Amino acid sequence: MAGHTWKLISRTGLNIIVRPAGADDDAILDELFHHVRLEDLHFRFLAGMRQVPPEQIHEMTHVDHRTVETYIGFLEDNHTPVATAMLAREGTSGRGEVAISIRADYRDHGIGWEMLAFVVGQAERWGLKVIESIESRASHDAIELEKNMGFTVHSYPDDPTLLLVSKKLGTA
């Protein structure tokens, strides 16, 4: 996937260039995560953290590009990183997991919606049948966005603080 880029346009007219993260992108993801709200870091990683450890960022940029992909979204005009999305295939089950983070000062511009729609499209290209996200029950914005995009919400087994949000793919 090296060299692939996609252009997304948010509902507020922001042009976002998306590309797969590569081995040289640790500093870019580190910068992006330093501009994500602490609450959103908690929701993204389901853990209390003030910053994303370098080892975890390294894992996001050193993926096999077949079963896991990390995408980075940049503003087209100034190349500021504003979003990241991860898509991970779960073995041969036909299922995939998605996780998205948006830079705090670019929330409420429709970037999350566009990144999720993009990842859903990528999951379909991968041949996945279902895409899922594990969400904190307190992550109201993400859950509402996913519901609006046709995801269904279910209780998460063995943890009443979490929800499993899923969407069947390949159906209109």
CB 158 within 8 A of CB 129: no
Summarised one tens digit per residue, pLDDT across range 65-87 is 889 999 999 999 889 999 999 99
Residues of the chain with pLDDT under 50: 1
- Of the candidates 92, 44, 37, 43, the one whose C-alpha atom is nearest the C-alpha of residue 70 is 44
Q: What is the pLDDT of residue 35?
A: 86
Q: What is the pLDDT of residue 13?
A: 95
Token pair belonging to 169? 């793919």
Spatial distance between the Cα atoms of 133 and 138, rounded to a whole number of angstroms: 14
Cβ burial 72-105 (10 Å sphere, 16+ → b, else e): bbbbeeeeebbbbbbbbbeeeeebbbbbbbbbee
The ranges assigned to domains in the chain are 6-168
* Fold for the domain defined by 6-168: Aminopeptidase (3.40.630)
Q: Which residues contact 39 (CB under 8 A, 6 or more apart)?
A: none
Half-sphere exposure at residue 138, Cβ-oriented, CA atoms within 13 angstroms: 8
pTM of the model: 0.90
